[in-house]
């Protein structure tokens, strides 16, 4: 079974104990922290912005993976990069001129990433694969936690993995949404390299270390 990186999503964290929980994820073996930025336009919800990115940056040395579920994401590249982002993901569906958006993002010292919603055909991004450092396959509809994994996402991951290989590239595939030990195993088997998990890590029913361990052990 291929190894994978695990990025807990603070969308499911207890914000009254955010510092403690982020430090626990680092101690328990997380590989990065996933921060969802929602603007109330591209998706209905409104979540985190620059102050949270700065606060989390002060709490951990883990890579900060910023997932921008926003229209006109380029308006915030500079402030997010300055706040401590290590990677910034923009949505294909929110960036009509995606190549231009990625060119703007290339001006900052961050990993350039693109995300696709469940209904978007994977073929839509074949031409920009060489321009990015990471691709995110949404396995739920963006904008809310706690949704069930969409099984068709596995075929998209597999197809994308083969296309990346056919282009002679080595670009990580990230999967986000409905992640639990069972779906982690299936996603990694399909070609995912990075798994984003929310309630499977941050959950009042079990400790963070147990959540991380359960996800890790799913691929053994």
Write the burial class of residue 75 (CB in 10 Å: 0-12 exposed, 13-18 middle, 19+ buried): exposed
Percent helix / strand / coil, the chain, rounded to 5? 40, 20, 40
> Angle at CA 90, nearest 5°, toward 195 and 194?
15
Q: Is 176 a catalytic residue?
A: yes
Task: Work out the number of other CB atoms within 10 angstroms of the CB of residue 177.
Answer: 25
Write the burial class of residue 220 (CB in 10 Å: 0-12 exposed, 13-18 middle, 19+ buried): exposed
Residues 6 or more apart in contact with residue 52 via CB below 8 angstroms: 10, 35
CA–CA distance from 99 to each of 38, 90, 92, 186 (Å)?
22, 11, 10, 31
- 36, 127, 182, 205: which one is catalytic? 36
- 86, 176, 205, 210: which one is catalytic? 176
Q: Is 36 a catalytic residue?
A: yes
Inter-residue contact 75 to 81 (CB < 8 Å): no
Residue numbers annotated as active site = 36, 176
């Amino acid at each position: 079974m291929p190894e994978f990186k695990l990025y807990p999503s603070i969308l499911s964290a207890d914000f009254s104990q955010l510092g403690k929980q982020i430090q626990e994820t680092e101690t328990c073996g997380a590989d990065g922290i996933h921060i969802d930025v929602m603007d109330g336009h591209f998706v209905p919800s409104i979540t985190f912005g620059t102050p949270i990115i700065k606060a989390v940056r002060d709490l951990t040395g883990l890579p900060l993976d910023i997932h921008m579920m926003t229209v006109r994401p380029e308006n915030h590249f500079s402030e997010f990069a300055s706040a401590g982002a290590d990677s910034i993901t923009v949505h294909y569906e929110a960036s009509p001129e995606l190549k231009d958006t990625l060119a703007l993002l290339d001006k900052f010292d961050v990993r350039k990433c693109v995300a696709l919603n469940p209904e978007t055909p994977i073929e839509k991004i074949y031409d920009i694969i060489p321009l990015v450092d990471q691709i995110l396959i949404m396995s739920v509809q963006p904008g809310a936690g706690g949704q069930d994994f969409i099984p068709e996402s596995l075929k998209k991951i597999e197809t994308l993995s083969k296309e990346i290989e056919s282009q002679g590239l080595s670009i990580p595939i990230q999967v986000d949404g409905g992640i639990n030990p069972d779906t982690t195993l299936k996603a990694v088997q399909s070609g995912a390299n990075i798994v984003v998990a929310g309630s499977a890590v941050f959950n009042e029913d079990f400790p963070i270390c147990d959540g991380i361990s359960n996800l890790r052990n799913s691929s053994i």
